[in-house]
Structure 1
Amino acid sequence: MLETVKDRVLEAYGSLLAARDPRLKDYPLMESPFSMTAILLAYLFFVLYAGPKFMANRKPFQLKEAMIIYNLSLVGLSAYIVYEFLMSGWATGYTWRCDPCDYSNSPQGLRMARVAWLFLFSKFIELMDTVFFVLRKKHSQITFLHIFHHSFMPWTWWWGVSIVPGGMGSFHAMVNSCVHVIMYFYYGLSAAGPRFQKFLWWKKYMTAIQLTQFVLVSLHVSQWYFMESCDFQVPVIIHLIWLYGTFFFVLFSNFWYQAYIKGKRLPKNTQETTKTNGSTIVTNGSSGVSNGHAIHENGLSNGKKHHENGNALNGKMKKA
C-alpha cells in the first residue's frame, strides 16, 4: 500500500513538473521547487528557532532607517506590479470574467508571465517582515497566520505561477498588490517616528481594506462556478483562490469584531485590563492591522508607539 501511495505521489509530482510554463524556467527560483522550498524552510528555522535564540540575551535592534527604506521600496515595487498587471491584460483586453492564460510568446503574453513571476518574487522579499519582528523582539506579532501567509502561501503561489502565469487567476495578485501599496506606505510612515502619527488616523480602515480585498477576490473567482463553460486552463487554481479568499475573510472578520467591536486585540495575552474604582486601565492595549500576515500594535508596524494612560487614584497616577 505504501508503495502505491508513493508511486501516486511521484506521478502527481511529475505531472506538475511537466505542466510548468517553459517561458519561466530560466527565471530566478523557477528552475525547480527545491530552491524556493529551501528558502522557506530556512525562513521557518530562523523565525521559530535560530532567530529567537540569537536574540534571547540581546537588546532589540531599532532598525528605523532600514525599515523606512524597506517599506517604501515595497510601495514602489507593488505599484509597479499593479501597473504591469493592468498593462499586460487587465486594462488591455481582459474581460474580467473568464480570461484564459496566454501561453504564447507574444509581447502581451510574455509581459503577463514576467509580472506574475515578479509578484511571486515579491513574496520572498516580504519574508523580511518577520525578520524585522524577530530582530526587534516583537514576538506577539509573529502569529500562526503571519507565518502561514509567509511560508505556505508562497509555496503554493510558486506552483500557480509556474503552471498558469496569467488569466483570471492573476486577479487576486493584482488586487493584493494594490493593497500592499497602501499597506507598506502606512508601515513606512509608522516606522518614521512619532512626528508622523497625525497622518496615521486611518489605521482602523486598513482592516476594512483587507476585507474588501477578500470580497473582491472571492466574488471575481466565484464567477467560474456559474459559467456554462470557461476555458481557463487550470481550474484547481480557481478552487485554491476561492478557499484562500474565504478563509482570510473569516479570519479578518473575526479580527475586526474582536479589535473594533469588542475593543480587544488578538491574541488575548497581549492585552491586560485592570479595573479600579470603576475606571478601566488598558495595559499594552492595541488594535491591529494585518495584511494576512503582520499584526501591528498601537497603529505601528516595525516601529511600535507606546501609549500611556494615566488615571488619578488616591492621589497617585497609575500608568498603564
Structure 2
Amino acid sequence: MKNATFMFDFLQNTKDNFFEVFEKEVVYDDIVDSWFLMDPAWPVFAIVLVYLSFVLIIGPRFMKNREPFKLKGIILIYNITQVFYNAFLLYWFFSTPNSMFYFWKYSCHPEERQRFYLLLLELNRGSWFYFFSKILDLLDTVFFILRKKNSHVTLLHVYHHAIMVISCWVHLRFYKGIECLVAGLINVFIHVIMYSYYFLSAMGPSVQKYLWWKKYLTLMQIIQFIIVLIYLCCMFIFQCGFPKTFSLYMICNAFVFLYLFTMFYMNTYSKNNKVKSS
C-alpha cells in the first residue's frame, strides 16, 4: 500500500512539475496561432487518426481482393514535387535575412521574441511549411497500401510519419523557437535526396539498375539522429535557454528513431541477412 501511495505521489508531482515548467516555456502568438491547422488542435489529430485507420485497417481490407492500383504517373509527380518543396524549405532559411546571424549568435541563449519578432515570425512561417510537408509525407504510406506494397508499411514507417506531424504541430503551436532548426534543416536536405531517389526509382527497371545508393539514405538518416542527439545534449550541458520540456521530448524521440532506423538498416543490409536470403 505504501509503495502504491509513493508511486501515485511521485507521478502526481512529476505531472505538476512538468505542467508548471511547460506553462513558463509556452509561447503564444496571435498571428502564428491563427495559421491554418494551428488552432484548434483537433484537425491535426484527426488527420493522424484517419491516416492510422486507413493504413492499418481500412486500406488493407479495401485492397485485399483487388489488384494493385497503377499510380506511376501520380507517384512521379508526387516525388518531384517533394524534391522541389524540400529544396524550397532549405532556400527559405538561407535566403531569410539575418537567419544565419541569429542562429549563430542566439542558438544557445535566445533573445526576447519581441526584439527579433519579424525574423522569428518569418522563421515560424518556414516552420509551418515544414509542418505541412509532414502531412504531405503521409501520402507515402497511402501509395504503398494502394499498390499493395504492404511489406513497406512497417512500425518504423508508420510511427515516423505519424509522430512527425504531431511533433511539428506541437513545436510551432506552443514553443515557436529555433530548437528544431538543426534537425529540420538536416531532414529537408535528406528528403531532397530521398525523394530524388524515389522519383528515379519510379521511372522503372531501366533506371533502377543504376540506383546503387539506396542503403546510404538510411545511413544518412541514422547519422541525422546522432547529430541531433549530440546537439540536444550539448544544449543541456551548456545550460542553454531552450524549452526543457520539448527538448527532453526530442531527445527521447530521437533515441526511438535512432533505434528503429538502426534495426531497419541491420535487418535489411547486414551481410548475415543477405546470406540468409540467398
Q: TM-score band, normalised by the shorter chain? A: 0.7 to 0.9
Contact conserved, 1:101 with 1:167, CA < 8 A, in 2?
no
In structure 2, the residue matched to 1:240 is 249
Are 2:127 and 1:116 equivalent residues in the alignment? yes
In structure 2, the residue matched to 1:179 is 190
Give 3-state SS (helix, strand or coil) of 2:31's partner. helix
The Cα shift of 1:263 comes to: 4.2
| AA matched with 1:231 | G
Are 2:271 and 1:262 equivalent residues in the alignment? yes
The Cα shift of 1:92 comes to: 3.5
Are 2:164 and 1:153 equivalent residues in the alignment? yes
Question: Aligned equivalents of 2:111 and 2:141: distance in 1?
Answer: 33
In structure 2, the residue matched to 1:170 is 181
Counting only pairs closer than 5 Å after superposition, residues 1-320 of structure 1 correspond to structure 2 as: 19-88=27-96, 91-95=100-104, 97-98=107-108, 100=110, 103-104=113-114, 106-227=117-238, 229-232=239-242, 234-264=243-273, 273=277, 282=278
| AA matched with 1:242 | I
Deviates more, 1:196-205 or 1:186-195: 196-205
Contact conserved, 1:72 with 1:185, CA < 8 A, in 2?
yes
| AA matched with 2:67 | K
Question: Aligned equivalents of 1:95 and 1:209: distance in 2?
Answer: 24
The Cα shift of 1:231 comes to: 2.3
Percentage identity across paired residues of the two chains: 34
Give 3-state SS (helix, strand or coil) of 2:101's partner. coil
Cα deviation per residue 1:116-169 (whole Å; 9 max; x = unaligned)? 111111111111001101100111111112111122332132111112223233
CA-based RMSD of the aligned residues comes to: 2.9
Change in Cα spacing, 1:27 to 1:260, as seen in structure 2 (3 Å) is same
The TM-score with structure 2 as length reference comes to 0.83
Give 3-state SS (helix, strand or coil) of 2:170's partner. helix
The Cα shift of 1:252 comes to: 2.2
Contact conserved, 2:232 with 2:247, CA < 8 A, in 1?
yes
For structure 1, the residue ranges without an aligned partner over 5 or more in a row are 266-270, 274-281, 283-320
Larger radius of gyration: 1
Give 3-state SS (helix, strand or coil) of 1:31's partner. coil
For structure 2, the residue ranges without an aligned partner over 5 or more in a row are 6-11
Question: Aligned equivalents of 2:228 and 2:117: distance in 1?
Answer: 27
Richer in strand (by share): 1
| AA matched with 1:82 | L
**Would you say how many aligned residue pairs link Structure 1 and Structure 2?**
262
Question: Aligned equivalents of 1:100 and 1:87: distance in 2?
Answer: 21
Question: Aligned equivalents of 1:238 and 1:77: distance in 2?
Answer: 27
| AA matched with 1:215 | I
Question: Aligned equivalents of 1:99 and 1:64: distance in 2?
Answer: 48
The Cα shift of 1:261 comes to: 2.6
